[in-house]
Amino acid sequence: MNKNEFISIKFDLVNGLIQWYTRKYHIKLSELRDYAYDSNEVDKLIMEKGDYVIYEVYEIERPVVEGEMIFGVTRIFPGVIGQEYNFTRGHYHVNKMAGEIYVGIKGCGLMLLQDLQGNFFTEVLERGSLIYIPGKYAHRVVNTCDEDLVFLFAYPAIAGHDYELIKKCGFKKVVLNIEGKPTIIDNPKY
Ligand code: PAN
Ligand code: ZN
């Protein structure tokens, strides 16, 4: 097998662990400050518990040229930031033709989707969910359960990631833990 052309690795479908990757990164609480429903809660938590990891990403990078795909696994740890369930930053793809596939491997949560026209949708993302995200939709995942939420993703290498708009205005809605139940409310910052 020519390793430059083919990638064939073991993927533990129960625990969501990939045997090999080229890049691992994590996002800590402090890095979600601008994205959070209540940034005061971020500061409060950092004072109490320190700056801990909210999610980690294991990625198989590929050259950024047409036809190539980047894929990997994201693991969101359970927890809340104030009332808000742990979540990924969320982003638009710069290239609006670049869709993405998410496959739920472990745990449960919600995917938030929105386009630039203000259309907003949520989809359940749990073990066994397969979600196709058309290129124009920003996407964020929220872990609403008390275990790790793990999903596989795959997208065209030329997609590009735009976090700025989400950082500034967020998603139309946020998912809060209200009396123990995931509750979707309007985001006042949007
Ligand atoms: C995923 C995400 C990953 C982390 O690979 O990049 O889950 O989420 P954020 O990038 O929103 O922090 C993806 O959607 N790539 O396009
Ligand atoms: Zn994406």
pLDDT at residue 135 greater than cutoff 70: yes
Specify the DSSP element, H or E, that contains 41.
helix 39-49
SS3 123: strand
pLDDT at residue 90 greater than cutoff 60: yes
Provide mean pLDDT across the span 18-41: 97
pLDDT tens-digit map of 153-177: 999 999 999 999 999 999 999 999 9
**Are 158 and 91 spatial neighbours (Cβ–Cβ below 8 Å)?**
no
For ligand 1, the distance from its centroid to the CA atom of residue 1, given in whole angstroms, is 30
**Beta pairing class for 100-106 and 181-186:** unpaired
Provide mean pLDDT across the span 29-48: 98
For ligand 1, the distance from its centroid to the CA atom of residue 26, given in whole angstroms, is 11
pLDDT at residue 2 greater than cutoff 70: no
What percent of the chain lies above the pLDDT cut of 90? 97
Query: Which of 140, 151, 153 has the most ligand 1 atoms within 8 A of CB, as the residue to mutate?
Result: 153
pLDDT at residue 44 greater than cutoff 70: yes
Which of 158, 154, 132 lies closest to 73, judged by CA? Answer: 154
Query: Which of 31, 74, 137 has the most ligand 1 atoms within 8 A of CB, as the residue to mutate?
Result: 74
From the CA of 102, give the closest atom in ligand 1: 14
Provide mean pLDDT across the span 33-56: 98
Strands (E), the chain: 11-12, 17-18, 23-28, 53-60, 69-76, 80-81, 84-85, 92-93, 100-106, 108-114, 120-126, 130-133, 138-143, 149-156, 161-162, 173-178, 181-186
- Ligand 1 atom 3: residue of nearest CA: 74
pLDDT at residue 21 greater than cutoff 70: yes
Provide mean pLDDT across the span 80-90: 98
pLDDT at 88: 99
Mean pLDDT of the chain: 96
Phi then psi for 35, rounded to 5 degrees? -100, -10
From the CA of 72, give the closest atom in ligand 1: 5
**What are the tokens at 38?**
């209540």
pLDDT tier at 5, thresholds 50, 70, 90? confident
Spell out which residues line ligand 1, taking CB within 6 angstroms: 27, 57, 74, 88-91, 100, 139, 153, 155, 159, 161
**What are the tokens at 31?**
């890095």
- Ligand 1 atom 8: residue of nearest CA: 88
Residue with tokens 């690795």: 9
pLDDT at 3: 53
Q: Which domains does the chain have, with CATH numbers?
A: 18-186 (2.60.120.10)
What's the maximum distance between 2 C-alpha atoms anywhere in the chain? 54
**What type of residue sits at position 51?**
D
Which residues is 75 bridged to in the sheet? 56, 150
pLDDT at residue 15 greater than cutoff 60: yes
From the CA of 155, give the closest atom in ligand 1: 16
Give the ligand whose atoms come closest to the C-alpha of residue 151. Answer: 1
For ligand 2, the distance from its centroid to the CA atom of residue 62, given in whole angstroms, is 15
**Are 166 and 91 spatial neighbours (Cβ–Cβ below 8 Å)?**
yes
SS3 51: coil
**What are the tokens at 146?**
């008390």
Provide mean pLDDT across the span 24-31: 98
Provide mean pLDDT across the span 139-145: 98
**Are 140 and 88 spatial neighbours (Cβ–Cβ below 8 Å)?**
yes
- Ligand 1 atom 4: residue of nearest CA: 88
